[in-house]
Structure 1
């Protein structure tokens, strides 16, 4: 009988000798394939993703662990590749990185440092938003997407959006009436999928079928859409029965939630100043 190990230990075993790094999705699949850990969570990929972030040397946020086992090998688009820290090389690499970062920091203006810090803050906040959504019930996510679209200005008043869930045809989770008579409606589909589980063309086809005579639809997911799903939506938009249909993935969802302050609360506002050259150039 195999000795029981933790999720972190399973991740460390998978990353051994993986010099090029692996994504959280690849790590999760390898853990399952090798039978290193039995997951009981509803979103096991999200659990692995969370453990990697918490123990990653290059990610710093309030709930991060001071104990670091992993580092960011590279970043392709919005996808992180994680690698195992080599204890023998860690001190040398860390020292080199500190000198490199110090040189860059010394050359940056104060406002440039603020921009860099703000960008990092937003990236971490986006990741945290998706992690929190994945921990909530599906019904909460259905309410969230309706709230978001209402906050963005869709609907004629605050009572024009509703969650229909299981009470409606399959493929529709929310409806927003754009006028008081309900002549123009926006149908909404919400899929709370873990990272790596992308929405398929079957899902988008079911949604279009459930829209019936509705002319507008928004499909929102916490993950992403497969290439086939995107291709199907393009066909619908360019076909004879053209329907305005919008796909929103997890990255865009998090950005919109921050922009319209849904599920986030502003803490501080900073004003950046510069010298008013015209004032000082005015010889008196």
Structure 2
């Protein structure tokens, strides 16, 4: 039995509206469903809302089994409703066709469609931001890119990071320590600020040779990409592993760590949840 089927069984047994807490207690008492989550009551509430007619948000189910009654209580529908658009859009479809002489009223865009458009615009904005960051990284000088990589590793949690001297670094641009469990992993890094082309396998082999004996791991940053041969040679049994971080991966790491980017909380996106405010449980 699925969680939705268990909820429906509880509501049928009750024969009337129930709060999410009442549904949860009935499911547990009758052993209708085995929960494996930290917050099982929250799972019941989430599933009821996902399948509730009149409640629309980005992850809501198109199949509706329940309805909001009053005071934050829910009941089962007489039969499931399949929806591919919001209720507002469905109501518009049910209207009689207007005659040519009648003026068509302004039609409000369904909120689900508006949310989809907002998310699409955000995705385009984020993609453009990533392209700009990567473009600017490629404009850094080699030494600036090395210092940038050091500070990025600091932000990630590396300790005692240093950029080596330009002369006689043996192919290693910097090094640091990463705490793994109770030990510190000694890591070397190398930076390849490429405007064109990609990093080939010989570069991986040379960097590994420079790491061997002194470091347990190597990180290779590039503003470009890696060839298939380079990717295949990065991890070899019995040899120092070389972790490959290409341009897009650098930008993703920057964003995840909030390094070189700022968050502007100017456009919160709200979804309908009045039923939660009325839920006595």
TM-score range, shorter chain: 0.5 to 0.7
Q: CA deviation at 1:108?
A: 5.4
Equivalent position of 2:259 in the other structure: 262
User: Against the structure 1 CA distance between its residues 183 and 262, is the aligned structure 2 distance closer, same or farther, given a 3 Å change threshold?
Assistant: closer
Judging changes above 3 Å, is the alpha-carbon distance between structure 1 residues 282 and 250 closer, same or farther for their aligned structure 2 residues?
Answer: closer
Count of aligned pairs between the two proteins:
168
Structure 1 contact 165–172 (Cα < 8 Å) conserved: no
| Residues 165, 264 of structure 1: alpha-carbon distance in 2 compared, 3 angstrom cutoff | farther
For 1:250, which of 242, 247, 252 is the aligned residue?
Answer: 247
CA separation in 2, counterparts of 1:280 and 1:129?
42
User: Which residues of 2 match residues 22-41 of structure 1 at below 5 A?
Assistant: none
Distance 1:211 1:280, change over 3 A: closer
**Aligned 1:87-106 pairs, distance under 5 A:** none
The residue number in structure 2 matching 1:140 is 144
Structure with the bigger percentage of helix: 1
Aligned counterpart, 1:118 = 122
Q: Does 1:198 align with 2:198?
A: yes
Distance 2:185 2:272 in 1: 52
Measure, in 2, the Cα distance between the counterparts of 1:282 and 1:228.
58
Change (3 A) 1:282 1:232: closer
Structure showing greater radius of gyration is 2
Residue ranges of structure 1 left out of the alignment (5+ in a row): 1-104
**Partners of 2:230 and 2:279 in 1: CA distance:** 62
Is 1:222–2:223 an aligned residue pair? Answer: yes
Residue 233 of structure 1 is matched in structure 2 by 234
CA distance in 1, matches of 2:276, 2:259: 41
The alignment's TM-score, normalised by the length of structure 1, stands at 0.53
CA contact 1:201–1:226 (8 Å) conserved in 2: yes
RMSD: 2.5
Deviation at 1:212, TM superposition (A): 2.1
Q: How far apart, in 1, do the equivalents of 2:277 and 2:265 lie? A: 31
- How far, CA to CA, are the matches of 1:266 and 1:282 in structure 2? 33
Question: Which runs of no fewer than 5 residues in structure 2 stay unpaired?
Answer: 1-108
SS, match of residue 178 in structure 1: strand
Encode CA deviations 1:159-203: one digit per residue, 9 max, x unaligned: x11111424532211111236xx9631110110001x41001111
1:273: which partner in 2? 270
Higher relative contact order (CA 8 A, sep 6+): 2
Q: Deviations over 1:73-104 (max 9, x none)?
A: xxxxxxxxxxxxxxxxxxxxxxxxxxxxxxxx
Q: What are the within-5 Å matches in structure 2 for residues 11-30 of structure 1? A: none
